[in-house]
Amino acid sequence: MMNKNELKYIQSFAHKKHWAQESVFIIEGPKMLEEAIKANCRIEKIYATKNWQGKLGSSGGDIEEVDDIMLSRLSHLQTPNQVVALVQKNMPISISDYSKKLTLVLDGIQDPGNLGTIIRTADWFGINHILVTEDTASVYNPKVIQSTMGSCFRVQVQIDNLNEVIASQKLPVIGTLLSGASIYASKMPNAGFLVIGNESKGIREPLKSLITHPVSIPKFGGAESLNAAVATGIVLSHWKMQ
In which residue ranges of the chain is pLDDT below 50?
none
| Residue 59: per-residue pLDDT | 54
Q: Is the residue at 20 inside a domain?
A: yes
Domain finish residue from 41, 66, 88: 88
Reference 141, options 115, 105, 106; nearest CA is 115
* Residue range(s) defining the domain that contains residue 26: 4-88
Q: How many angstroms separate the CA atoms of 2 and 56, rounded? A: 20
Q: Tell me: the pLDDT tens digits for 26-69?
A: 999 999 999 999 998 999 999 988 877 655 555 556 888 888 89
Q: Tell me: the pLDDT tens digits for 147-158?
A: 999 999 999 999
109 and 41 in a single domain? The answer is: no
| Residue 95: per-residue pLDDT | 77
Which whole-number Å values give the CA distances from 15 to 18, 94, 141, 230, in the listed order?
Answer: 6, 28, 9, 28
219 and 138 in a single domain? The answer is: yes
Q: Is the residue at 18 inside a domain?
A: yes
CA 208 to centroid of chain Cα atoms: 23
39 and 106 in a single domain? The answer is: no
157 and 231 in a single domain? The answer is: yes
| Residue 54: per-residue pLDDT | 56
| Residue 61: per-residue pLDDT | 61
The pTM is what? 0.90
80 and 159 in a single domain? The answer is: no
Sheet-wide strand order for 213-216: 156-159, 129-132, 102-107, 192-197, 173-182, 213-216
Domain finish residue from 88, 114, 131: 88
80 and 182 in a single domain? The answer is: no
CATH assignment at residue 73: 3.30.1330.30
| Residue 122: per-residue pLDDT | 97
